[in-house]
Structure 1
Amino acid sequence: MAFLSYTALILSATAFLILHLAIKKCLVTRSYHIQNAQRRCNPPPYIPGWGITRLLDAMKASREDRMPQYVVSLLDSVGPSVHTIDARMLTDKLTVTRDPANVEAIFAGQAADFDIGPNRENSFKPLLGVGVTTARGEKWKHGRALLRPQFSREQISDLGVEERHVRAMLEVLEGKVAGDDGWTGGFDLQPILSHLTHKVAIEMLYGEGVNVSGDVTSGEFSRHLDAGKSWLYERMMMGKFGWLFGSSAFRGHCKAVHAFVDGIVETRTRSGDFKLNEKEEVVSGKNFVFLDELSKHTQDPLELRNETLHVLSASWDTTAALIGWVFYFLARNTQVHRKLRAEIETAFADGITFANLRDCHYLNDTINEAFRCAGVIPVIERMTTRDTTLPQGGGATGQDSIYLPKDSRVLISTYGMQMRSDIWGNDPEGFSPERWFGRKAGYEFVPFAGGPRKCIGRNFALISANGDTC
């Protein structure tokens, strides 16, 4: 009898939960339609399909390094002139857009209505902690204010560290010469570029000579960080269920990364004797160390670890990928290569400086074109902070505004915008730096995002890419 009562209780509770969810869904749907009518909005095209199926497809595309193309294929499946859609990922509705008008609204006109969501913090926290790329509200403002002075023109214009490591890389390449003609044989350049950007970033962040901290070497640290980051992207794709995605291997990568950075932080802060809020002018010829500068503003070892890891994570592999793509395109476009080489030989006859890097226009056009074609940062995600709208994408013509309730996820397909023929010409997949002549990019080209959360290290990343290409 007791067993039957217990079973009846479970069935009743289940039925009540199902009824509650059904009523809630009806109320949310009703509110959505009312808001659409009041705001004179219309929804964008919806791609039907089970959320779990789309998640598995997205994960498969990510592991096969074709995520940018996968997102574009979702949009193109509705029509090449459709630039905003709704789709479902697990239990969440996801709005995907490649419309510059919507991007401008998100980053500029209605920037207060959009921010990163809690998914990013929850996904990244086990490896990187809470830092400037995941924090929101006052925590983000504090982190941004802490980091901004470290990316001043005076700090990033010193190319000494970059030049030293580039020369070391060239010595490695010289050792690969295969024959008497002076040319190298075939080899994989990407690991060498990754090693280069890793060494530069480590020295800029933590100081010269950093190689071993505790039982973890610099090389092992980079391997653990890279492996750990591969888990973060899939945790992000799972949205609010990302916390379920982990393993003992992932936890091991996190532990090794933390041990390496904590050892450096403890050693440098103990030996540096930095005074909080100490003001010091930049000394010419003095190597800039990011950790030392942060230590003047905070002595919290967890904050120092998190903020330096966030900067490293955002800069290291993306810079290596961009430089690798530049060489990939140059190797396949000999005319561009010859033109760029001639400009570099003339512009840098007396050496490479911050000023002449910025004035080397064809080099900058080449970097931008590689960024555009490769889609190094192919998507940017935002979440609505309140009920709001996007200006385009709704209705039969795609010209109506779109209503987005609070906590809606929006995925900006930057790669999708960069492949639009109506914006970039009839051959958007072709590599042509000339398309940038006299062009001032707007919201159709936002590889570093925009608005209040625009990448704080943008200029540093571009200077590194330009300098390494030279």
Structure 2
Amino acid sequence: MFLLWFFILLVIVTIVYKIIKSKNRKRRIRQREAELGCLPPPVFQLTNGFGLPLKKESIQATNEDRNPQYIMETMNSISPDCHTVRVPIFDYEIFVTRDPENMRAIFSTQSSDFDISVCRQMSWMPMIGKGIFTTRGWDWKHSRSRLRPQFSRDVVSDIEREERHVQALMTRLIVEPKSKWTDKVDLQPLFFNFTLDTASEFLYGKSVNSQQGTKDGIEMATHFHNAKMAVHRRIEVDKFYWLLNSKKFRTSCSVLHRWVDDIVASRLSKLKEERSPNDEPKQQKFVLLDELAKDTRNIDELRGETLNVLVAGRDTTGSLLSWVFYFLARHPEVFEKLRQTVLRTFGAHPTQSKVDFHVLRNCTYLQYVMKEALRIATVIPMNERVALRDTTLPVGGGESGNGKVFIPAGTQILIPTYAMQHRQDLWGPDVEQFRPERFEDKQPGWEFIPFGAGDRKCLGQQFAFTEAGYVVIRFCQRFDKMENMEEGDGRIRLHHAIENRSGTGVQVRLHEAKF
């Protein structure tokens, strides 16, 4: 009986302590807000006093593959001119902003005030370890200094590697001899196999060849997917990420680590054997692991750095390719215009024309198509940062939304890039339409940051555009028609586990051109 009353008293004292602490914190915030001349932004009440969801709309939106639209619609419901909100959640709060001026502050002019959150770090760490995607402060700067020189070199764009894996993809697209049409096919898993195969070869000098259905490739793809889905769920629960640590998650992480460790150990041994008498390494194809091994031979560090690059590049490029073809299948006039551009620029026969990467990067309409796919579908629909110290955002406060907003130290800011890239006032009344030509007249700034921005901007942005563009070129050369074969209501489904992919895949059939 005594223990029961003691427990009840402890609970009451804890609740009272939390309430007093929360009120004192709010008082301090309001005082500091006034000192800095800041104004409070609109409030969106997501939860009740116990931190429990008031509505089921958010969960339902995720289940229905429309969570990015839900966030946008929620902000619009406050006001179409509302671009920054404060969201109280039990004893803490977060901010959500889709304002380009705030993007400039977070990623550029006040970037030293912000970094990724510890929750994001720790959600990812069991899967990919320490690297450019999961570290902060000095550790992050060290990772970036290792990787940045490698992605500034043209050698990372390997024509022979890209062509070999494109041809492996093409063998999966079987054409009926008389009609020259393929059967209905879902391109999305083929693109994800392609990017896993090219990324693994680029990183480790050894492809998993998942496109061919090898045991190694299937196992890698499966465990990679399982681990990322678990990380997605960990990120969703924010500071309670540690509660989600299932055996399935741990097994998938262990398999990935063993696979990488075996490759790293073998590669380091081979590099040692291949040294010439003057102790200079022999000339060989570019492999990122080889370049990183010049800086460290620590297997844990090499595993972390390469897995960070793999997770940042494989699925994002696969998603970009999927969305490009998703929209091309629904806009035959865009596909025809793009195809004619490709034939004029690169030639009509895929086996007799060599793609120059410099020309690819300057093929404007191809770039417009990929950018428009990134804008309307937004491969990374949500980004985030946390305030390292008391700071401010330049706009979003007050009734007009023009006042500064106070951000207390430790506060997380969510950045819904999808919501920002679907603002009519920034992109026009046809914002929901797939229209690559919009980029002819518009040079977007901070309202278009699909690869992030500032110091943490994705190092592989140009690499992703080059790889995706190469695949698009080869498809345009081989096929002259593409039909949308998706059944159902035709609604776009934004399914995301970290990155956004089509919830219905890319269901098409293709017609082979005459050569």
**TM-score, structure 2 as length reference:** 0.84
Q: 1:113 maps to which residue?
A: 113
2:219 maps to 1:223:
no
Aligned pair partner of 2:11 in 14, 19, 42: 14
Q: Is the 8 A contact 1:55 1:89 kept in 2?
A: no
> How far apart are 1:91 and its partner, in Å?
5.0
**2: CA distance between counterparts of 1:59 and 1:238?**
12
Q: 1:307 maps to which residue?
A: 305
Name whichever of 428-437 and 237-246 sits farther off. 237-246
Aligned pair partner of 1:322 in 320, 323, 333: 320
> How far apart are 1:137 and its partner, in Å?
0.8
SS at match of 2:86: strand
> How far apart are 1:190 and its partner, in Å?
0.6
> How far apart are 1:208 and its partner, in Å?
3.2
RMSD over aligned Cα atoms: 2.4
Aligned residue identity for 2:13: F
> How far apart are 1:219 and its partner, in Å?
1.9
Change (3 A) 1:101 1:279: farther
Q: 1:82 maps to which residue?
A: 82
Structure 2, unaligned stretches of length 5 or more?
Answer: 348-352, 474-515
Q: Within 5 A, what are the aligned runs for 1:156-235? A: 156-173=156-173, 175=174, 177-178=175-176, 180-208=178-206, 210=208, 217-235=216-234
**1: CA distance between counterparts of 2:269 and 2:171?**
36
Aligned pair partner of 2:366 in 357, 363, 378: 363
Aligned residue identity for 2:169: M
Q: Is the 8 A contact 1:154 1:282 kept in 2?
A: no
2:441 maps to 1:424:
no
**2: CA distance between counterparts of 1:188 and 1:54?**
38
2:32 maps to 1:29:
no
> How far apart are 1:17 and its partner, in Å?
2.3
Aligned residue identity for 1:268: R
**1: CA distance between counterparts of 2:59 and 2:129?**
24
Structure 1, unaligned stretches of length 5 or more?
Answer: none
> How far apart are 1:298 and its partner, in Å?
0.7
SS at match of 1:433: coil
**2: CA distance between counterparts of 1:348 and 1:420?**
36
SS at match of 2:366: helix
The number of residues matched between the two structures is: 460
> How far apart are 1:249 and its partner, in Å?
1.4
Q: Is the 8 A contact 1:198 1:316 kept in 2?
A: yes
SS at match of 2:79: coil
SS at match of 1:411: strand
Q: Is the 8 A contact 1:216 1:260 kept in 2?
A: no
SS at match of 2:385: strand
2:340 maps to 1:337:
no
SS at match of 2:437: helix
**2: CA distance between counterparts of 1:55 and 1:167?**
49
Q: Is the 8 A contact 2:375 2:421 kept in 1?
A: yes
Higher helix fraction: Structure 1 or Structure 2? 1
> How far apart are 1:444 and its partner, in Å?
0.2
SS at match of 1:85: strand
**1: CA distance between counterparts of 2:44 and 2:219?**
43
Q: Is the 8 A contact 2:46 2:55 kept in 1?
A: no
Q: Is the 8 A contact 2:390 2:408 kept in 1?
A: yes
SS at match of 1:198: helix
SS at match of 2:185: coil
Deviations 1:353-406 (A, max 9, x none): 121011100000111001001111111110001101111111111111110000
Q: 2:462 maps to which residue?
A: 459
2:451 maps to 1:448:
yes
Q: 1:287 maps to which residue?
A: 285
**2: CA distance between counterparts of 1:406 and 1:324?**
39
Q: Is the 8 A contact 1:194 1:320 kept in 2?
A: yes
> How far apart are 1:279 and its partner, in Å?
11
Q: Is the 8 A contact 2:346 2:355 kept in 1?
A: yes
**TM-score, structure 1 as length reference:** 0.92
Change (3 A) 1:54 1:340: farther
